[in-house]
């Protein structure tokens, strides 16, 4: 007890004795929300997280996070239709983040620096057979290998990649990139057997003593439509044309070619033929609004001078050319014949009106359920109606894109992994959506005028140029840093700075922040000023 001055009875104390947390009626909590890009990505990539590392300049870490979900960043950075960008919240401010171009940069960076996948730490000794070395099959193989299983892939073609090799034209995906990314998979111990066509899946499974099988045979049969054909006209199917171009680099087809269909395959065929000197005309029975093809690809086609005959069907093909019937959309948007005809000169017709799954192989599997032209699978673990047989990619219902196939391959692999452990894989529930309304845009809009055109230019070269260029490092890091980090922390220190009670504790780089509930009075300034909407105020329990 120290000697106190007159009228003083208490020892001095710090205000830290006074736990103001007891005043609180609302409590700040960190919430982790699902950013729209991640939500949209069919491959389930953690886009926000890899942009986070890319923005720091840690490209290897960014690539590692990216490849936790998708083993083909360099390919996807070229061929993915990047629907994620369509959902990006930055679009409400200025322009969406060029996610796809950063992905490509990371993929190319990894190839340039010979980054390899890590081999599994331990081998489980389980054997899995994968039928088909397309995006779904290879994605499944990659994820299974990461779990430590022994994976063997069989493929009927001469080389791997499936539609990435035999469907997507070279101008969109150079084959050396594809080869390099497939080699990275075989380097981690995946074996691929080419020119091996599986006729009896169950027999192969038994002979090879496989514990599980994933089917990824795709949808490789072009749909046919009955066109009355004359003698001299070629009627070809789109996959044959694309396959021949991919294999031989050329095709004998004539000069004026009608490409029949309005999907991505039709556009790929038309743009490929254009590059071979032909004059393709796309014939499509509906209009541009109803066209399923990717908009950017279609813009590219039109810029390249490819003509389109909208609202038209081919009713007859003869040696003099084609007979086209004009269509009109009814009130439901369905095309209806009008009875008006016109002639169109054409040396050949390429049918690009959809693809079917080769059901012959599947019919031999006893008890395998199919629906329409696809295989019925469990919505969680992708298992078919036959125990131990899983399926992914174009052969199951869903979007028929490379990205979707990669995502399905991942889920099938997880399904198999759980199956091999005797459990069932259930997909995790997603976090609530990160909405733009919950964010604080004041803290973002700051791209000066001089910089904006630079981004736009970079994005244009990436998107429209036929000879595609990647982003420079400076542009890539710039683009990555445009990410708003919707719904998740980007370590901007706002909560730490604006707390009037010093009740936010900064834990250091990469570790984020913590609330000190002893002193937090629950004023809510941190939640209000968080740019990302990462803090919610929840009522305190009494």
Partner 1 sequence: MLDEVKFYQTGSKTIGNRLLNPSMRAEQASIDRHNTLTSGHRACQGCGEALGARYALDTAMRVTNNQILVCNATGCLEVFSTPYPESAWRLPWIHSLFGNAAAVGTGLAAAARVRAKKTGSNVVPRVIAQGGDGGTTDIGFGPLSGMFERNDDVLYICYDNGAYMNTGVQRSSATPPAARTATTQLVGAEPGAEWGKGKDVPLIAMAHGIPYVATATVADPKDLEYKIEKAMSYHGSRYIQILVPCPLGWGCASNTTVTVARLACETGFYPVYEAEYGKITSVRKIRQKQPVENYLKIQRRYAHLTGKKADPKILARLQAMCDQNIKQYGLMSDDVPETVPTAIQAFERESNI
Q: In degrees rounded to 5, what are phi and psi of residue 157?
A: -80, 175
- CB atoms near residue 1 (< 10 Å): 4
Which 3 state secondary structure label does DSSP give 402?
helix
- CB atoms near residue 467 (< 10 Å): 6
DSSP 430: P
Question: For residue 10, what are its two tokens?
Answer: 């208490």
Helix (H) or strand (E) holding 498: helix 494-498
Question: For residue 157, what are its two tokens?
Answer: 């073609």
Q: Are 77 and 101 in contact (CB under 8 A)?
A: yes
Which residues form the interface with partner 1 (CB under 8 A)?
8, 10-20, 23, 55-57, 442-448, 451, 474, 477-478, 481-485, 490-494, 496-498, 500-503, 506, 508-510, 516, 518-519, 521-525, 527-529, 531, 537
Question: For residue 323, what are its two tokens?
Answer: 């007979």
Smaller CB separation from partner 1, 307 or 502: 502
Which residue carries 């081919």 as its tokens? Answer: 314
* Distance from the first to the final alpha carbon of the chain: 39
Which 3 state secondary structure label does DSSP give 5?
coil
Cα distance between residue 227 and residue 37, in whole Å: 43
Cα distance between residue 487 and residue 531, in whole Å: 9
- CA count, 13 A, side-chain hemisphere, 74: 22
Cα distance between residue 255 and residue 166, in whole Å: 22
What DSSP assignment string belongs to 243-286? HHHHHHS-----SEEEEE--SHHHHHHHHHHHHTT-EEEEE-SS
Q: Are 356 and 400 in contact (CB under 8 A)?
A: no
């Amino acid at each position: 007890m120290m000697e106190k001055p007159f009228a003083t009875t208490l020892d001095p104390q710090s205000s830290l004795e006074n736990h103001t947390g007891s005043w609180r009626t609302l409590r700040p909590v960190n919430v982790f929300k699902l950013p729209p890009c991640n939500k949209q990505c069919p491959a389930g990539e953690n886009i926000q997280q890899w942009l986070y590392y890319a923005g720091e300049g840690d490209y290897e870490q960014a690539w590692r996070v990216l490849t936790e979900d998708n083993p083909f960043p360099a390919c996807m950075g070229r061929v993915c239709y990047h629907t994620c960008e369509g959902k990006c919240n930055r679009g409400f401010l200025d322009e969406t983040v060029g996610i796809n171009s950063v992905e490509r940069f990371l993929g190319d960076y990894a190839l340039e620096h010979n980054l390899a996948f890590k081999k599994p730490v331990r081998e489980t000794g389980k054997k899995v057979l994968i039928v088909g070395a397309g995006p779904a099959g290879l994605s499944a193989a990659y994820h299974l290998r990461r779990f430590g299983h022994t994976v063997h892939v069989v493929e009927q073609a001469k080389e791997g990649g499936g539609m990435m090799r035999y469907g997507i034209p070279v101008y969109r995906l150079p084959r050396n990139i594809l080869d390099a990314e497939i080699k990275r998979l075989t380097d981690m111990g995946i074996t691929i057997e080419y020119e091996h066509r599986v006729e009896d899946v169950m027999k192969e499974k038994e002979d090879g003593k496989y514990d599980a099988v994933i089917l990824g045979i795709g949808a490789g049969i072009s749909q046919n439509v009955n066109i009355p054909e004359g003698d001299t006209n070629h009627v070809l199917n789109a996959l044959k044309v694309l396959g021949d171009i991919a294999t031989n680099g050329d095709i004998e087809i004539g000069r004026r070619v009608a490409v029949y269909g309005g999907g991505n395959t039709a556009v790929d065929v038309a743009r490929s033929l254009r590059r071979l000197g032909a004059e393709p005309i796309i014939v499509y029975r509906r209009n541009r609004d109803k066209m399923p093809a990717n908009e950017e690809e279609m813009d590219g086609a039109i810029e390249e001078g490819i003509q389109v005959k909208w609202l038209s069907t081919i009713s007859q093909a003869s040696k003099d050319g084609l007979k086209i019937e004009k269509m009109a959309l009814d009130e439901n948007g369905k095309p209806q014949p009008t009875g008006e005809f016109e002639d169109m000169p054409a040396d050949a017709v390429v049918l690009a009106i959809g693809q079917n799954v080769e059901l012959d192989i599947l019919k031999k599997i006893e008890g395998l359920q199919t629906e329409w032209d696809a295989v019925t699978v469990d919505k969680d673990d992708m298992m078919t109606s036959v125990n131990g047989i899983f399926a992914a990619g174009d052969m199951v219902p869903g979007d028929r894109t490379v990205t979707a196939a990669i995502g399905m391959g991942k889920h099938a692999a997880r399904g198999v992994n759980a199956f091999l452990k005797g459990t069932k894989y259930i997909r995790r529930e997603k976090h609530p959506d990160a909405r733009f309304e919950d964010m604080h845009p004041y803290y973002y809009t700051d791209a000066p005028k001089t910089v904006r055109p630079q981004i736009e230019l970079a994005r244009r070269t990436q998107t429209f140029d036929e000879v595609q260029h990647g982003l420079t490092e400076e542009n890539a890091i710039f683009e990555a840093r445009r990410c708003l980090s919707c719904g998740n922390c980007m370590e901007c220190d706002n909560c730490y700075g604006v707390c009037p009670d010093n009740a936010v504790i900064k834990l250091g780089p990469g570790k984020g922040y913590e609330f000190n509930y002893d002193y937090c009075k629950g004023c809510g300034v941190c939640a209000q000023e968080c740019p990302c909407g990462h803090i919610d105020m929840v009522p305190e329990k009494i």
